[in-house]
Every structure is written in structure tokens, then in C-alpha cells.
Amino acid sequence: MLFRTTLAIETINNKMLKSEKLDTIEATILSLEEFNKSIFDSKIESAQAILKINDAKEVLFRSDIITELKSEISLEKIESIVRLFLQSASSIISISEINLSDSQSYIDSYSDRISSVIEASKSNAESASNLKFSSFRISPGVFIFVYAYSEKFKIDENPESQIITSTGLLIRMKISISDVKNQAEFDAKKIDQESLLKIKYIQASLLDDLFKKEIVIHTWTLYDNNYFKVANQISRRLSVNSSKNTMQIGSGRKGSPELQKLVKGYIEKLKTLNDTSLNKAIEVSEDRIARSYY
């Protein structure tokens, strides 16, 4: 069965955004949904081919609109979406071999993965473009596919007005009986490892935004701190759960040569600007490379 729910979430923490403006913004996102669903479905087909799934059946589709200040990361709101999604799925799936875990550690893992997709959709950096889609197995035989697209708006006509983003979030769940039979023991660690790397790619893309003058150093600091907190949260969860996991899939904390190369390129571009106000971003990024954070 196909279920579709739509939830509009307003997370603006002030009274400056009028309800009429919010309605207009969300109407814009809704007008783009069908176009982006076609992109989403095309990416799902490609992902299923890679995963070698040929018997997938869709059990749930969800469409959400998330409107927030550009600097916000709505982890609590995403968690509520994940919980509702899993509750709906559990009531639909009646196959005894399939078990959907709703433990907090799993909820956190799924929420962080979806958050990384949303944050990627907000970025103009080329390195983030491929991160707007994600597919992951949440249980043997159960796959979640996620896609996000965002638009930016100013709260009012004031040149100093804060930027808000409205994001269309599309989530599909599919099940595969053949995968239930073929998949070995599974846990959330692999999802966390992949989410951690995605968050760091998005965090690194802020350097490109600085170079293109799309943000200033104060804004970079704000956004970077937000991503750093999310990355540390995932890292702590990986450390806590590592002793419980028997799968040999790596620590996820050794650094990525590809990401380090990307960050080094961003640093060199920033240095060509000869702007001392950017020194903080350069120094922090160089230190992170040295510590294998990236």
C-alpha cells in the first residue's frame, strides 16, 4: 500500500515571519515537488540497481516541508518525522521476518542521515550536490530513500534581513524479501559512519561558500559550529556503540583522503583572496586536516 502524508513545520524562532509569507514560501516548494519527485525516482532506480534489488515494493511515501533560519539544523524536528515514519511503516509491514527498531540509537542514526541530506540541499557547493540523495538499509529487507531540495528566501525586503530556507523532503520506504534472506546481522553503525562523512563534506563546502563570498566569516563560524556539534554527536555514538558491534566496517574516524584533498583545494583558493578575516577558517581547516578530522 502507498501512504502519503504531508507535514509543514515552522521552526523560525522569532515573530518576524508573517503567516502569509510562510504560505507563499511553502506554496513555492510544493510547486516544485512533482519535478523533484521525478529526479528522486530516477535516483532510486539507480540505487536499486547498485544494491541488486529487483523485487522492491514501496510501502510508504512521505513528503514534508521544513522552513527554518538558514543557520538552523532541526535535529529535533527531523527526529519527530522519523518516529512518525517508522510508526506508520510498522503498522503497514506485517512480514514476520522484518523488524523495525525504534530504539533511540537507531532513531538518532536515521535522523542524522536525513539531516545531512537536508543540509546538502541548502548548499550551492558542487561537492554537496550528490549528497542531496541518500539510500540506506535500516533492517534486512527494508530500505529508506531520501531526497531534498531547498529554496532560499529573505524574511523581508531589508538588505540586512535574515535568510531562511524552505526544504522539500521526500522519503520512500521499500521492502525486499530476497534481501531479508541474503542480509547478515545489521546495526546502525554503518549508517552513522556514512552520515558522519556526509556531514563533514557539507561542512567543508562552507569554505567554498566563503570563497564565492556567499557567506562572511561570522556566518561561516555559526554554520561550522553547528555542523561540528552534529559530527561530534555522531562520533560519540560511534565510540559508545563500537564495542557492541561485531561487523568489520572500520572506525569512520581515520579521515578521508578524498575529503582532505577537497579541503586543501578550498584552503588554497581562500589564500588567493589575501583576506586576513578568513585566517580563522583557514587555520581551523588546516588543523582539522592535520588531526584527520577531515
Q: What is the pTM of this model?
A: 0.76
Query: What is the structure's pLDDT at 99?
Result: 64
Q: What pLDDT does 133 receive? A: 97
- State how far the Cα of 126 lies from the Cα of 123, in Å rounded to an integer: 8
Angstrom distance (rounded) from CA 31 to CA 233: 35
CA distance 294 to 285: 9
**From edge to edge, which strands make up the β-sheet containing 142-154?**
4-10, 57-69, 163-175, 142-154, 133-139
Question: How does pLDDT run across 156-194, given as a tens digit for each residue?
Answer: 666 566 778 889 999 999 999 888 776 654 557 888 999
Q: Tell me the angle at which helices 217-242 and 279-290 cross, rounded to the nearest 10 degrees.
A: 20
Cell numbers found for residue 108: 538518532
Which whole number is the average pLDDT over 200-206? 96
- Residue-level pLDDT at 186: 56
Distance CA 204, CA 294 (A): 8
Q: How far is CA 254 from the centre of its chain?
A: 21
Question: 257-271 and 189-211 helices cross at what angle (nearest 10)?
Answer: 10
More confident of the two residues 140 and 4: 140
pLDDT at 56: 93
